[in-house]
Amino acid sequence: MREKRPPHNPANTRVARKSGNATTVILNLIQDLARRQLPSNLSTVILMKIRICTIAPTTSLTSQHSAGKKKWPRHPRTSPKSRKVHPRSTEATQPEASASQPSQHPPISQKAWLATLKITDITTTPLKTGKSLVRIQTDAGVEGWAEGPGVNKIVPGRTASVFEAYLESIIKPTLIGENPLDIDRHWETLAQGKEDRLYKLPANIVGIIDVALWDLLGKETGKPVYTLMGGAARTVIPLYWSTGSGWKFTPQEMLDIVTVGHDMGFEAFKIRMDWKGWRQDANPTKDFAMFKLVREFLSDGQYLGFDANNGYSVSTAIQQGRKFEELGIDHFEEPLPREDLPGLKQVADALDVAVSAGEQDAYRWWFHHLVLLGDPDILQPDILSAGGPSEVKKIFDLSTMWNKPVMPHSPQAGINSMASLHTYATVQNAVRPHEFSTEFSGPLDEVAELYGEGVLPKAGNMHLSDRPGLGIELNEAAVAKLTL
């Protein structure tokens, strides 16, 4: 139903005639028409548009629109004096914006720079830390970094030679010449396929490339990865000290290792047995004695988890879990072999303690099956095993729908650990501590020398900086010194 027309106000026309301004006459006439013919809400919209379109001729639309806007920031890699013109840039022909009229948008050359950025090479450097440094290089000189496998006696299928085979035969032919900023497209290509080509690379291989691409994107945009992923809910993240190989230690030896973390300022801990699924129920009595001794040492209510590393049967897991509950346990990790999802559900349903799983699982589709069939209380994606930051972020988002807390698996220090922390920082309800261990990283002083002090915790917490990308400060001299 149309609103009643208001009485005509001839004063509007008289004022317009006095001004002698034709634009004002047209404006007042159209305003009067809009008030008479349209409902109030539409009339308001039209009047706003009319005022914008009838700015006085002496005022520049461009200067009105861009007044007070910040200039597009200089590229973070170079200073104003030393910044090189990109090979495909038309910057030399672009006039500088005047100081009085700063541009709202980046110069065309900057936009073209991002649009035409190309991957030129992907290299690996084997390091004495037991890992390799992976670099995705571009024609603009910016690089993205990740850690690839080195010599791995524990997991022979995850060695530098295996990664190099995938890199040379599939990844480099696929990605060289592509824009590195198209992260989702590259992830889909490597994890699934493209057009009629079927790739389906292992998730840990895709994950390495994905970590480096996110680091590169951050450097190109001058933003930390957690900002590019939607923003950090927190940048100070509590860690838990994770120590393993309990199967070969005595209870006192395990306690001695826990004490090292305690002296470093950690307030949360996890002990791992590392039994694996093929040594089932090997020595649950010693496992319990080890947990009991550590629990008695951590008598002030510190967080303590227990990881069976797939080492129990259903009945043993339930018996152990109940005994752990009497002493005080915060989570019971991977009680059963990974494939026994129905058994995992039995254990999770029988115990009060939160049962966790997922560190070995690849891609969000498996996590869907894990929740449907195994129904653990906590999901623990690993930044590489699950498929990289892109995929872990999707798993975190799905976990909110499934009402499952998340607690990443990441027993290491370095670039990949920082990728896990940046992704975890974006989760609003990520209240449980993030894993930290020195067992698979090499000496911490070498890690800090390579990547900067920012990759190491302070008093049991990780403080994420606002540096671009993953915040890594690569020391090329240290890389040369530690190269195998």
DSSP annotation string for 202-255:
-HHHHHHHHHHHHHHHHHHHT-BHHHHTT--S-SEEEEEEEE--GGGS-HHHHH
Which tens digit of pLDDT belongs to each residue from 333-342? 999 999 999 9
Residues 256 and 389 in one domain: yes
Sheet holding 119-126, edge to edge: 119-126, 131-138, 143-149
Mean of the pLDDT values across residues 257-278? Answer: 93
Residues 183 and 257 in one domain: no
Give the pLDDT score at 196: 86
Give the pLDDT score at 86: 40
390 has pLDDT over 90:
yes
Specify if 163 maps to a domain: yes
Specify if 1 maps to a domain: no
Give the pLDDT score at 118: 97
98 has pLDDT over 60:
no
CA separation, residue 484 to residues 127, 150, 163 (Å)? 5, 10, 17
Domain count, the chain: 3
Residues 210 and 248 in one domain: no
Here the CATH number for the domain that contains residue 214 is 3.30.390.10
Placement of tokens 């030679």 in the chain? 161
Which tens digit of pLDDT belongs to each residue from 152-179? 666 666 788 999 999 999 999 999 999 9
Residues 129 and 247 in one domain: no
Examine the fold and report which residue of 221, 236, 268 is the final residue of a domain before the chain moves on: 221
Mean of the pLDDT values across residues 24-37? Answer: 51
Give the pLDDT score at 279: 87
Residues 173 and 232 in one domain: no
Start-to-end C-alpha separation, the chain: 81
What CA–CA distance (Å, rounded) separates 88 from 110? Answer: 10
Specify if 2 maps to a domain: no
Mean pLDDT over each residue of the chain, to the nearest integer? 83
Residues 25 and 143 in one domain: no
Residues 146 and 292 in one domain: no
Task: Report the relative pairing of strands 193-194 and 197-198 from DSSP bridges.
Answer: antiparallel
Specify if 155 maps to a domain: yes
Residues 295 and 367 in one domain: yes
Task: Report the relative pairing of strands 143-149 and 131-138 from DSSP bridges.
Answer: antiparallel
Q: How far is CA 386 from the centre of its chain?
A: 12
31 has pLDDT over 90:
no
Examine the fold and report which residue of 221, 249, 278 is the final residue of a domain before the chain moves on: 221
Give the pLDDT score at 63: 37
Record the pTM. 0.77
Domain carrying residue 28: 10-56
Specify if 289 maps to a domain: yes
What CA–CA distance (Å, rounded) separates 354 from 336? Answer: 14
Give the pLDDT score at 249: 95
Structure tokens at 30: 């159209």
Nearest residue to 309 (alpha-carbon basis) of 413, 393, 380: 380
257 has pLDDT over 70:
yes
Residues 393 and 466 in one domain: yes
Residues 267 and 346 in one domain: yes
DSSP-based three-state secondary structure for 271: strand
Mean of the pLDDT values across residues 175-192? Answer: 97
